[in-house]
Structure 1
Amino acid sequence: MLPGGAKIGRWQPVISGRHAFDSAARNAEPGLAVNALCGVEVSTDELQRIAPEIAWIREDTCMACWQVLASLQ
């Protein structure tokens, strides 16, 4: 669980890499801007789309998101 009680929604490949998002970002209304755990801003339209399988391979894992999650352990 993240600070403030938020839960991890999922990892998602977006244009700038594969980032972790909390459940509030994953469930936000279309057309809004939301932040990954590292602070990268993406639109909910991009976040909520189904990523092509190749994006999971092509996009690098965001190490800043990874570090946020690791610090919670």
Structure 2
Amino acid sequence: MKKDKKIFNVVMILVLLVAPVAGILFMDAPAGVEGNDATFFKAAIGLGFGLLAGAVFAIVWLVKRLFGK
């Protein structure tokens, strides 16, 4: 139980902290967006993808916990 909770917490922290940074580093802003706006835009895109991945992980984790017994 504690191991599952620790794994869940680590994944959620990665989703919220690492995804925006990965977005800033590896994604491109759309054409016409420049400067600080582009940085914030890329961070928002990264956070969006991270939240989507986190939601999928949370649903899979919940289904596994509910029906895995």
Length-normalised TM-score, structure 2: 0.29
The structure that has the greater radius of gyration is 2
User: Greater RCO between the two (CA within 8 Å, min separation 6)?
Assistant: 2
Looking at secondary structure, tell me which structure has more helix per residue: 2
Looking at secondary structure, tell me which structure has more strand per residue: 1
Length-normalised TM-score, structure 1: 0.29
